[in-house]
Amino acid sequence: MGYTITEKILMAHTDLKDIAPGQLINAKVDIALGNDITAPIAIREFRAAGGKEVFDREKIALVLDHFTPNKDISSAQQCKAVREFAVEHGVVHFYEGGQVGVEHALLPEKGIVLPGDLVIGADSHTCTYGAVGAFATGVGSTDLAAAMLEGELWFKVPASIKFIIYGRLAKWVSGKDLILHIIGRIGVDGALYQAMEFTGETISTLPMADRLSMANMAIEAGAKNGIFPPDAITEEYVRPRAKRPWKFYFSDPDAVYADVIEIDASKLEPQVAFPHLPSNVRGISDAGEVKIDQSLIGSCTNGRIEDLRVAAGILKNRKAAPHVRLIVVPATPLIYRQALQEGLLNIFMEAQAVISPPSCGACLGGHLGILAEGERAVATTNRNFVGRMGHPKSEVYLASPAVAAASAVLGRLASPDEL
């Protein structure tokens, strides 16, 4: 019997000759990630366990991206603790200040995570790296501590759900709309403990930026990981970035799946997830009249240069509606610089946008774009739980950069076709 890509990558990181869903295994970790919120607890646990040295200073990534630029004294203390640990242990992939980007945009961009890798991160959106054909999953701080110490961790081998997606995407329909549609269809626990494997003719031509957006939100369906079979698009993305060898894994034709779901993507229109669950999804034509106070374009889901190009294409020679706060967050310094050189930042400023430094702050209601009571935001982010972006009585509508840009101009949820 054959194996799925997820099973093959997990098995390759053990000494096992066979592997099956449900099995508990210990597997070697290629990259272990933490940020300014989760790493402080991991460091405390690491020290409490008598940790003297990290298992490999080149295989740990510490990214200070959540409450940075430091939002208050407590946040500054947390960053300081992580910085001191990084210096003490000579952690190679340590990012802060002008080098920091939103971690799940930064690590693929720098070629730190590669096809065939086993990546764990103390951040739930670590599943993003499945876009390049890696097994990547979010864990807690204690797991990060164990991985930094031992270089391996326990895993339960997940069963896989195969998504076969076919049909040509309509104008303004992106990977974000595909994943919102899928979560709307299977629910926020539709893939609980499982792997989501994205295949089919639509996927075979889907650009890397869209794949990253889709894998990013696998966790919003409860999945352990999301993964794409690597191909020429993966090769083109990885080759100029990688500084070490990588390996492509593919599911066997006779691999076993818990479920196979087919999706005709040609019928999709831009999607919006209404409050307060990412599964509360409607087509934009069914959105009705929803006035907004803020439009946020950015995050690990949609803060890449391709996303900013789409938004700028819509915002060019237009302005955000009166009393709508448009916030654009280039996800990494490289993306920021590209947006500057391509003239996108100028378009955003003409549209009266605030251009934020790379940060996760606004997405998780930390800082740099908090909502007041009763306010509504359309956001290109990944979560719209109660209080996610601010006051418990505020609302978040999840959508693509195209919808967020059009909505900013019209002051209500809108498709770019309405402009």
Partner 1 sequence: MIFKGRVWKFGDNIDTDAIIPARYLNTSDPAELAKHCMEDADPAFMSKMKPGDIIVGGENFGCGSSREHAPIAIKAAGISCVVAKSFARIFYRNSFNMGLPIFESGELADAIAEGDEIEIDSATGVITLSGSGRTFNISPIPPFMEKLIADGGLMKHIARK
| Residues making contact with partner 1 (CB under 8 A) | 24, 37-38, 40-41, 44-45, 48-50, 66-67, 71-72, 74-75, 78, 121-124, 126, 138-143, 145-146, 149-150, 154, 188-189, 192-193, 219, 222, 224, 277, 364-366, 383, 385-388, 392
Dihedral of the CA atoms 38, 394, 329, 170 (nearest 10)? 110
Smallest distance from partner 1 to CB 140, Å: 4
Q: Where are the beta strands (DSSP E) in 48-170?
A: 60-63, 93-95, 118-121, 135-138, 152-156, 160-166
| Residue 282: CB minimum distance to partner 1, A | 18
Residue 41 vs 242, nearer CB to partner 1 = 41
How far apart are CB 273 and partner 1 at their closest, in Å? Answer: 13
**Number of neighbouring beta carbons within 10 Å of residue 323:** 10
Shortest spacing between CB 7 and partner 1, in angstroms: 17
Query: 186 phi and psi, to 5 degrees?
Result: -100, -15
By C-beta, is 87 or 192 nearer to partner 1?
A: 192
Q: Taking a C-beta distance cutoff of 8 angstroms, is the pair 213, 301 a contact? A: yes
Q: How far is the CB of 386 from partner 1 (least distance, A)?
A: 5
Q: Pick between residue 122 and residue 173 the one whose CB is nearest to partner 1.
A: 122
Cβ proximity to partner 1, 146 vs 347, nearer residue? 146
> 3-state DSSP call for residue 101?
coil
Count the Cβ atoms, other than its own, within 10 Å of residue 386.
13
**Smallest Cα–Cα separation from 148: which of 91, 66, 108?**
91
Q: Report the phi/psi class of residue 317: left, alpha or beta, with left for phi > 0 and alpha for psi in -120 to 50.
A: left
Q: How many residues does this entry show for the chain?
A: 419
Residue 192 vs 419, nearer CB to partner 1: 192
CA distance 315 to 312: 5
Minimum gap (Å) between residue 417 Cβ and partner 1: 33
When the beta carbons of 43 and 265 are compared against partner 1, the nearer one is: 43
